[in-house]
Amino acid sequence: MLGKTANGLFWMYRYLERAENTARLIETGQRIALTRLGDSDAEWRSVLLSAGVWPGYETYKGDVTKEGAIDWLLRSRHNGSSVRACISTARQNARLVRTALTGEVWESVNAAYMNAEKMLARQVSERDLPGCLRTLRQHTALVRGMTHGTMLREANYEFSRLGTFLERADNTGRILDVKYYVLLPSARAVGSALDNVQWESILRSVAARGGFRMGHSSDAGPREITHFLILDQRLPRSLAFCVHQLQDNLKKLNAGNGKPPESLKLVDLLLRKYLTHEVDAIFEYGLHEFIQEILALLGDLTTQIQIDYRFYE
């Protein structure tokens, strides 16, 4: 397998995952705006921060408005992480690695692109927004499903998964990074109405609201949410889940190829040092520092994978 192909697959799936995550962040932001609790503009700012696109927004647009934020996140060409740009980049990478994809995967990503271009050609009205976001998420899910259902379990597949889980871990990490203060233990046993909305928004943005309710009592609060998002291996968007997947993918890539590469060592370290503790230990360590360090390590991991597998010359 060519290093270039590994690179293309890795980024194709990172961008698909990012498109889906951004779509979900927009849904969450819109939801909070509708509850009219708290400051809607501040909420959109935190959505832009979670999506990692705040600096660009600030430069290009300045003031935060709902319409401005949604358009920036959804379809702006100046924002390389807008849903539209992500899907377009994913498809560009898919063309580059066309020979490494099954026909079904290629057609599903091409269909996602064609439909996104059509839907996002003009500003999306508030009324059409929920349907539009749902369709976009379904498209990315379809690509993932086709990948799962048709691709050989070999290096191609492992790189597609590495891209997916790195992006997903990064996304969950960023949401926690922006909202960590909401989750800090407080003297109050029961949160205010605003706290509740904030907690719910965090759960929604990682598609975990239902799952959380199922597994926890009704008075579960920030401590349980923190545990759920960082350490619970049942949640497919938790940090522990994603990093375990990364470890698994790297192991499979390395099977039968001698001593472990640096990237595998790095992911082992990430798990051992950060993701095997109790949640109280994380609070004691400092939630914010903890998340920041994980995000930095995830960045290092991307760099190391690129080196280990010769993405570039």
Partner 1 sequence: MTKTDFFDEMWGFEQDLREPYAQFHEWFEQEDTARLRAKQREAEELFRLTGITFNVYGRDDAEERLIPFDIIPRIISGNEWYKLSRGIEQRVRAINAFLHDIYHKQEIIKAGRLPSEMIANNDAFLPQMIGVEPPGGVYTHIVGVDLVHTGPGEFYVLEDNARTPSGVSYMLENRETMLQMFPELFSCNRVQSVQNYPTNLRRSLGATTPRLGPTHGEDPVVAVLTPGIFNSAYFEHAFLADQMGVELVEGHDLRVVNGRVAMRTIRGYTPIDVLYRRVDDEFLDPLNFRPDSQLGVPGIMDVYRAGGITIANAPGTGIADDKAIYSYMPDIVEFYTGERPLLNNVPTWRCSDPDDFAYVRENLADLVVKEVHGSGGYGMLVGPAATKKDIAAFRKKLEARPANYIAQPTLSLSTVPTFTRAGLSPRHVDLRPFVLMSPNGINVTPGGLTRVALQKGSLVVNSSQGGGTKDTWVLED
Give residues in contact with partner 1 (CB under 8 A).
1-6, 92, 95-96, 98-99, 103, 106-107, 110-111, 114, 155, 257, 309-310, 313
Q: Count of CB atoms within 10 A of residue 228's CB?
A: 23
Taking the complex as a whole, the smallest distance from the CB of residue 16 to partner 1 amounts, in Å, to: 17
Q: How far is CA 119 from CA 42, 77, 129, 131, in A?
A: 28, 14, 10, 10
Minimum CB distance to partner 1 smaller for 110 or for 135: 110
Minimum CB distance to partner 1 smaller for 95 or for 277: 95
Taking the complex as a whole, the smallest distance from the CB of residue 306 to partner 1 amounts, in Å, to: 11
Minimum CB distance to partner 1 smaller for 92 or for 233: 92
Q: Position of tokens 């740009």?
A: 85
The token pair at 157 is 């597949």
Minimum CB distance to partner 1 smaller for 184 or for 307: 307
Q: Distance from CA of residue 194 to its chain's centroid?
A: 25
- Which ranges of 36-82 would DSSP assign to H, the alpha helix? 40-50, 54-60, 66-74
Q: What is the DSSP letter of 100?
A: G
Taking the complex as a whole, the smallest distance from the CB of residue 308 to partner 1 amounts, in Å, to: 8
Minimum CB distance to partner 1 smaller for 1 or for 271: 1
Q: Distance from CA of residue 140 to its chain's centroid?
A: 13
The token pair at 296 is 């930095």
Q: What is the DSSP letter of 65?
A: -
Is the distance from CB of 161 to CB of 152 less than 8 angstroms?
no
Taking the complex as a whole, the smallest distance from the CB of residue 105 to partner 1 amounts, in Å, to: 12
Taking the complex as a whole, the smallest distance from the CB of residue 96 to partner 1 amounts, in Å, to: 6
Is the distance from CB of 238 to CB of 229 less than 8 angstroms?
yes
Taking the complex as a whole, the smallest distance from the CB of residue 1 to partner 1 amounts, in Å, to: 5
Minimum CB distance to partner 1 smaller for 2 or for 194: 2
Judged by DSSP in three states, 156 sits in helix
Q: Distance from CA of residue 113 to its chain's centroid?
A: 19
Minimum CB distance to partner 1 smaller for 100 or for 133: 100
Length of the chain equals: 313
Taking the complex as a whole, the smallest distance from the CB of residue 9 to partner 1 amounts, in Å, to: 11
